[in-house]
Amino acid sequence: MTTVASARDQASSLAPRARTLAFATLTVAFVMDVLDSTIVNIAIPAIRADLGAGPVAVQWMVAGYSMAFAMLLVSGGRMGDVFGYRRMFIGGMLGFTLASLLCGVAPTPTALIVARLVQGATAACMGPQVLALVQLLYPPHERVGALSFFGILGGLTAVLGPVIGGALIEANVAGLGWRAIFLINLPIGAAGIVAAWYLLPKGRSPDRLRIDWAGNALVVALLFALVFPLIEARALNWPWWCFGLFATTVPLGMVLWWHLRRQTVRTGSALLDPAMFQDRSFSNGLLTSLVFAVAGGGFLLVLTLVLQVGLGLDPLSAGLLHIPFAVGVGLGISLLGRRILPRLGRSVLAFGSGAMALGVAGVTVTVATSASVPLIGVALLIAGLGMGTCAGPLSPIALARVDTRHAGAAGGALKTVQQLGNAGGAATVGTLFLVMAGGATSAPETRAALIPAAISICLLLFCVAVLSRRFPQRLFDTD
């Protein structure tokens, strides 16, 4: 098996065209992952009408994918370190494609939820390998630029998901309706598998690592105890055991940390090396990414419901209204973020979170008063600029000083907190919104419920601004 060092030598010898094609292959998997975490939002009303799904089932369709993804991402990343990044990438993409087929033919809400869980689990095998393989393909001085491109692509894909989904539903190709948003992955996934086999370099960690089964079990248990009560508690009328399950996250976290330290000393094959968290840029990057993802995930879910239920827009019109947001994200990452980063340094994150909060507030005021579609578009453009300005630097800075021996595990940890944040946003902000809106079935209640949801999102963005002060300034000075 090719190690990281020999794989890096192999990658460095690639012709520019071959490296570009390899990078393009990775973007296919990245887009499929991000797209399927957001595209389902726009299809919720159609799925509810077709399958008779209730509010709890809807939350599981959205948050279940992110929960399964988050629970297994660290494990998937470490398996790449152990078994090889290309091998795990291809296996994950194959499983993801088959799971998409199961989603597309699901006859009941339960079947769709199960298929979404499988889809998230297989994406967890594929996703971390993208970041690991980027670190093999590019030397350190080029790596930040490549990771920044994923920031741009991720932001645009996330907000364009509803646009693409709305267009597919509206087109109703072959009478498939909402099912087309999943079945479209079949040809894309098949092409990606073939391309990965021929274009991606082989590689794994040079250390003799083994699978940390106990560590994997502890991570899965910890994340399950954290997310499951957030999704199910309201539907079950807040039973005591949900609070008890949530309370177990503290001892589980302590046991996990003890196990990781012990496993590192004994075998050197811990699921996560505790030494990684001693770096301020990595540890603070995880925390900041988590809070930011909660705000972003909650906002995107609430926005699609408000546009369709609160304002009565059809799926295509609601999707098209996301375009100003997508444009803002792209400009925030590619233009605004790069221009102001040298001047503001780490304060760029506070600037971006403030701009996003301003846009969220603008959407809320407009929906509650005039419900003017053009004004909502302007507010979404501002929110997108803020999101892009924050999202651009976060991932590259968090991974800037991570040892490439732990490329898979570090990438898995970062994507874990991002997906956990998306699930947490759907579970917390989404639950608050659905409670206030009575299940998001009535237009007046839906518009009114946007106000407390927007306040919670703005508070989360304020936390991002505070956390930004903890990043080492020199990382921003050198980018």
Residue 403 confidence class, pLDDT cut points 50, 70, 90: low
The confidence score (pLDDT) of residue 381 equals 92
pLDDT digits (tens, 9 = 90+) for 40-73: 877 888 888 888 877 778 777 877 887 788 778 7
Question: Which residue do the tokens 């959205």 mark?
Answer: 62
Residue 193 confidence class, pLDDT cut points 50, 70, 90: very high
| 136 φ/ψ angles, rounded to the nearest 5 degrees | -80, -35
The type of residue at 93 is M
pLDDT digits (tens, 9 = 90+) for 119-171: 989 988 888 888 778 877 877 666 656 666 776 676 667 667 777 888 888 88
What CATH number is attached to the domain comprising 181? 1.20.1250.20
- Please tell me the total count of domains within the chain: 1
Contact 264, 436 (CB under 8 A): no
The type of residue at 384 is G
| 204 φ/ψ angles, rounded to the nearest 5 degrees | -155, 175
The type of residue at 42 is I
pTM to 2 decimal places? 0.69
- Helix or strand holding residue 408 (H, E): helix 407-437
Contact 122, 36 (CB under 8 A): no
| 3 φ/ψ angles, rounded to the nearest 5 degrees | -85, 175
The residues, ordered by sequence, that sit 6+ positions from 19 with a Cβ below 8 Å of its Cβ are 11, 137
**Domain of residue 64, residue span:** 4-478
Q: What distance in Å separates the CA atoms of residue 181 and residue 303, rounded to the nearest whole number?
A: 19
